[in-house]
Structure formats: C-alpha cells, structure tokens
Amino acid sequence: MQIDNHKTDILILGTGGAGLFAALHAKKANPALKVSVAVKGLLGKCGCTRMVQGGYNVALSTGDSIERHFMDTIEGGKWLPRQDLAWRLVEGAIERVRELEN
C-alpha cells in the first residue's frame, strides 16, 4: 500500500454542506492557510447533504417565494420543525446558496 503525505493547516473531513462551508470560511478568514477537504466516498455523490431531499432547496425560480419555501419546509417536516428556526433557514437560504456558488 502506498501512503501519500500532504501538508495542510486545516483538514476538514466531509464534503457535505457543513464541511464545504467550513472550508470556505476558513479560507476567507485567513487566505494564507492551506485548507484541505477529505471525503471517504465519491466526491459529490456521498454524504448526508447529498441525500436530503435531493439537495438544498432555495426560492430562486420565478413563482417561488420565501413564504412558499417556508411552508414547504414545515409541511415536509409534518409540522414538527420549530417554525422560528425554519423561518431563519429559508430567510437566509438565498444568500447562503449564492455564497457557496461563488
């Protein structure tokens, strides 16, 4: 078995939403840091974020709205989600998606 060594300042395990967001913000906080992300499966095809209702939903299309996204979230959760937290989620979703895209 061959072992490859890599030097990094920050190693993030997992390429789900949380892992990629952590990598993004670590690099923004200190561009001089070498940030590495490791994944055990096939990149872009594994992890919990990938499996959650086919992705991360956000109100970007014509006819979509934050209110509709909120109701989809509440109804999809069978009215179990805390509505204050669900509203915070959908309210910031567009900005988070644009941040991750760039």
pLDDT averaged over every residue in the chain: 87
pLDDT at 53: 54
For residues 11 and 34, state if they share a domain: yes
Last residue of a domain, one of 30, 49, 68: 49
For residues 43 and 66, state if they share a domain: no
Q: What is the Cβ-side half-sphere exposure of residue 43, based on CA atoms within 13 angstroms?
A: 4
Average pLDDT over residues 11-34: 91
Which run of H or of E encompasses 51? Answer: helix 48-51
Question: Quick one: tokens of 95?
Answer: 């900005």
For residues 42 and 68, state if they share a domain: no
For residues 61 and 102, state if they share a domain: yes
Average pLDDT over residues 17-34: 92
Domain boundaries, position 43: 1-49
Q: CA–CA separation, 71 vs 85, rounded Å?
A: 13
Which run of H or of E encompasses 37? Answer: strand 35-38
DSSP, residue by residue, 84-100: HHHHHHHHHHHHHHHHH
- The number of folded domains in the chain is 2
Average pLDDT over residues 57-69: 89
For residues 7 and 34, state if they share a domain: yes
